[in-house]
Amino acid sequence: MTVHEDKRMQARSDIFKALGHPARLAMVIALGDGERCVCDLQELVGSDMSTISKHLTVLRAVGLVEPDKRGKQVYYSLKIPCTLGFVTCVDKALQERGP
């Protein structure tokens, strides 16, 4: 692999790692329906605010989500919407595989 190919492969791997936690995956799926404030994501996942913040930091670091600060609230949106296509593909494969 060239240096460029190696960096691209690492970036892909980092995205998959970020999606590897159930709470982060749930947030990404929820953001597929549109932007959400941090408080909505906290309610969805059921974790304390510092944990939600850490998860969002991981998702931001790999470029999956993007924040938009509005006054005291921060809203997040999905920056790589094709991620949901992968999730749908995985869901279909799991359904075909059975219990």
**In this structure, what are the phi and psi dihedrals at residue 77, rounded to the nearest 5 degrees?**
-130, 160
Sheet holding 36-37, edge to edge: 36-37, 73-78, 65-70
Mean pLDDT per 10-residue section of the chain, whose length is 99 residues? 93 96 97 96 95 97 97 96 94 89
Q: Which domain holds residue 39?
A: 3-97
CATH code where residue 71 lies? 1.10.10.10
Between CA 25 and CA 19 the distance in angstroms is 5
Q: Residue 69's pLDDT is what?
A: 95
Count the domains in the chain: 1
Report the alpha-carbon distance of residue 90 to residue 7 in Å, rounded: 25
Nearest to 68 by CA among 38, 23, 26: 38
Q: Give the pLDDT score at 98.
A: 79
